[in-house]
Amino acid sequence: MADAERAPERAPERTPERAEKRPAAKAPAAKRTQPRPSRISGAEAALRGAQQLAALTGRTFEGIVGFAKDGDGWSVEVELLEMRRIPDTTDVLGVYELDLDRTGDLVGYRRVDRYLRGAAGEGER
């Protein structure tokens, strides 16, 4: 057989003398089940409650208007975006009052006000 007619020679497969060590894939960290503190601060409770309400209603959290200690829990007022409009000064916002237990879990809520974002003062809400 002529050189041109020969099938190209395959390079011999190289096998490493020892297996290449790769770092093992990290398993996702398991959620730690740490006991919740019996009480949390008002700021932590307010933020926690706002996040729970936004997740529950599917609305966008705008801000915390106020919070106060209420017996063994917390009372929190939160603004949520209820309706997006153009221009954004005409967006409709709602103020919700949340009842939270002492660990910051949402136990109840109600809308107490609704207004346009561009409303200038408290009297216009």
Domain range annotation of the chain: 42-119
Q: How far apart are the C-alpha atoms of 79 and 98, rounded to whole Å?
A: 11
The pLDDT, as a whole number, for residue 39 is: 77
Q: How far apart are the C-alpha atoms of 94 and 79, rounded to whole Å?
A: 6
The pLDDT, as a whole number, for residue 54 is: 97
For the question of whether the overall pTM of this predicted structure is more than 0.75, the answer is no
The pLDDT, as a whole number, for residue 32 is: 53
List of residues 6+ apart from 110 with CB closer than 8 A: 96, 97
- Per-residue confidence in pLDDT tens, the chain, 125 aa: 555 555 555 555 554 444 445 445 454 555 556 555 567 899 999 999 999 999 999 999 999 999 999 999 999 999 999 999 999 999 999 999 999 999 999 999 999 999 999 986 665 54
